[in-house]
Amino acid sequence: MSEKIPSNQPQPIVKIGHYTLGQTLGVGTFGKVKIGEHVLTKHKVAVKILNRQKIKSLDVVGKIRREIQNLKLFRHPHIIKLYQVISTPTDIFMIMEYVSGGELFDYIVKHGKLKEYEARRFFQQIISGVDYCHRHMIVHRDLKPENLLLDHNLHVKIADFGLSNMMMDGEFLRTSCGSPNYAAPEVISGKLYAGPEVDIWSCGIILYALLCGTLPFDDEHVPTLFRKIKSGIFPIPEYLNKSVVSLLCHMKHEWFQKDLPSYLFPSPVEQDSSVIDIDAVNEVCEKFNVKEAEVHSALLGGDPHDQLAIAYHLIIDNKRIADEAAKAELKDFYVASSPPPVAFSPNDTNSSPLRPHPERIAPLRERQSSQGSTSSSTQGARGTPVKRAKWHLGIRSQSKPNDIMSEVYRAMKALNFEWKIINAYSVRVRQKNKLTDRYSKMSLQLYQVDYKSYLLDFKSLSNEEEDIGRGKEL
């Protein structure tokens, strides 16, 4: 007969990887979620513990694999972050962002229908996260208030990507997923759907719940519920203004644009993964007793299990939270710049522009950037006549060369540029100025800096240089 451990005795500390596990936050079908703390940085995380035998017996291995694969891709202020996955023979530990505000569902139950400005703020954040998913070709397929978490600043975090699917161009989905009250007509009818439209429908249901405190389509009898959804007819309370009623019916409206923070929808060209927070790097160096170069190497190496990279992301995410939804600009972000390939005199300088990180913080955009508006001319050494030199801006990356060039083409397409491919890693681009009817031209060239680093270089071209370049090898 085993002896019972006295209740007043301290419980043994459970440690997994660099994290100590604390109290249980919740228990689900596939396992439990515990609060955790990083041993060195002391930042809190949520640890989702999945029993291998259980998920195998419930035939949800694919569901869990999808959730892990999708969350690994995401870095967005309104999507739960997955920092690390630790596997043991018996369990899978998902180290995730910790949020303390509970579910949006509980918030609605407690407060009832919300004021319009509050509902709009939640809704804008949800749409921003959903838009980010769709731009990365992923459909959530189970959006509902229970899967929307709140941090202590009442900012939305989209969670539970187990039902999500990768979207492929030209393909349609038929799987019936999610909760019936939030499901689109094409989903419950078993019809083909591309994917994004079912998430948008669910967002409309969530907006109605935020504004009214109830669901637009609700019935205990499922066939009756399905008939209501397919009919598209729902009660509209008299207290809703005409503008939001129009949005609920069309899901694309000026109501959504009011007080819309610009950080929620960064332009495609703003996605820059080479931006590094110097203060966070220094903190990692101090905690792990390593050099700055080691942290930079970890961040650019692309290894999701690297402890230095994980600690770095924990630090900057918690910094963003501590900054009250990032209302202040961070000054210590930087982008690496390339030296100009032409000879400059010792007095010439070339400074790197400061840019805020697009996905981790809401930047202040009131001030318009004046970068690139100044011009400079240089004189050749000892009075040798030379042509006016061009300024060069380089972006460093340790991604694969083909991936870098794919992002280049995506940005050029978004900006409506025309381009001519010189070779696999060199492109000439131009864009027509509608006012002057003239073209602005430049060349893009990808260089290899060392055995694992690459530099994308930009150079402005004159008409003369472009004509000469057509007949020469770059």
- Residue 414's contacts (CB-CB under 8 Å, 6 or more residues apart) are 267, 268, 269
Active-site option among 142, 160, 277, 317:
142
Percentage of residues of the chain with pLDDT beyond 90: 7
Over its C-alpha atoms, the chain yields an Rg (Å, rounded) of 26
Catalytic status, residue 169: no
Quick one: angle between helices 196-212 and 242-250, nearest 10? 150
pLDDT: is 220 or 170 the higher one? 220
The pLDDT of residue 74 is 76
Report the sign of the C-alpha dihedral through residues 117, 122, 123, 125, in that order: positive
pLDDT bucket at 335, cuts 50 / 70 / 90: very low
Residue 404, both tokens = 């870098």
Q: What is the mean pLDDT of residues 175-198?
A: 62
Give the total residue count for the chain.
474
The pLDDT of residue 451 is 64
Task: Reply yes or no on whether the pLDDT at 241 is more than 50.
Answer: yes
Residue 437, both tokens = 């009817």
Assess contact for 295 and 281: CB atoms under 8 A. yes
CA pair distance 456, 474, nearest whole angstrom: 15
- Segment 38-58, tens digit of pLDDT: 988 888 999 988 888 887 877
Provide CATH 3.30.310.80 ranges for the chain. 395-461
| Fold designation for 395-461 | TATA-Binding Protein (3.30.310)
Annotate 319-351 with DSSP letters as a single string.
Answer: HHHHTTTT-S--S-EE---PPPSS---TT---P
Q: What is the mean pLDDT of residues 1-17?
A: 62
H-helix or E-strand spanning residue 418 = strand 418-423
Task: Reply yes or no on whether the pLDDT at 438 is more than 80.
Answer: yes
Q: What is the mean pLDDT of residues 392-401?
A: 72
Task: Reply yes or no on whether the pLDDT at 26 is more than 60.
Answer: yes
228 is known to lie in a ligand binding site: no
Mean pLDDT, the chain, rounded, equals 71
Task: Reply yes or no on whether the pLDDT at 214 is more than 50.
Answer: yes
The pLDDT of residue 190 is 65
CATH number, domain 102-264, options 1.10.510.10, 3.30.499.10, 3.40.50.1820, 1.10.3720.10: 1.10.510.10
- Segment 114-136, tens digit of pLDDT: 999 999 999 999 988 888 887 77
- Residue 386 CA to chain centroid, in angstroms? 46
Task: Reply yes or no on whether the pLDDT at 327 is more than 80.
Answer: no
pLDDT bucket at 249, cuts 50 / 70 / 90: low
- Segment 265-295, tens digit of pLDDT: 665 444 444 567 788 888 888 888 888 888 8
The pLDDT of residue 6 is 53
Q: What is the mean pLDDT of residues 171-198?
A: 59
Task: Reply yes or no on whether the pLDDT at 239 is more than 90.
Answer: no
Q: How far, in Å, are 119, 131, 199, 204, 244 from residue 209 at the CA level?
A: 9, 20, 15, 9, 13
| Residue 345: Cβ within 10 Å count | 9
The pLDDT of residue 343 is 33
Q: Which long-range contacts (CB under 8 A, 24 or more apart) does 199-204 make?
A: 199/130, 199/133, 199/134, 199/139, 199/140, 199/141, 199/143, 200/130, 200/251, 201/251, 202/140, 202/142, 202/143, 202/144, 202/178, 203/123, 203/126, 203/127, 203/130, 203/143, 203/251, 204/248, 204/251
Superfamily of domain 273-327: Ubiquitin-associated (UBA) domain (1.10.8.10)
CA pair distance 112, 106, nearest whole angstrom: 10
| Residue 118: Cβ within 10 Å count | 15
Q: What is the mean pLDDT of residues 412-441?
A: 86
Output the CA angle 101-105-111, nearest 5 degrees.
80
Annotate 35-67 with DSSP letters as a single string.
Answer: EEEETTT--EEEEEEEEHHHHHHTT-HHHHHHH
CATH number, domain 14-97, options 3.30.930.10, 3.50.50.60, 3.30.200.20, 3.30.499.10: 3.30.200.20
Report the sign of the C-alpha dihedral through residues 267, 205, 250, 236, in that order: negative
* 276: β partners: 334
* 458: β partners: 393, 444
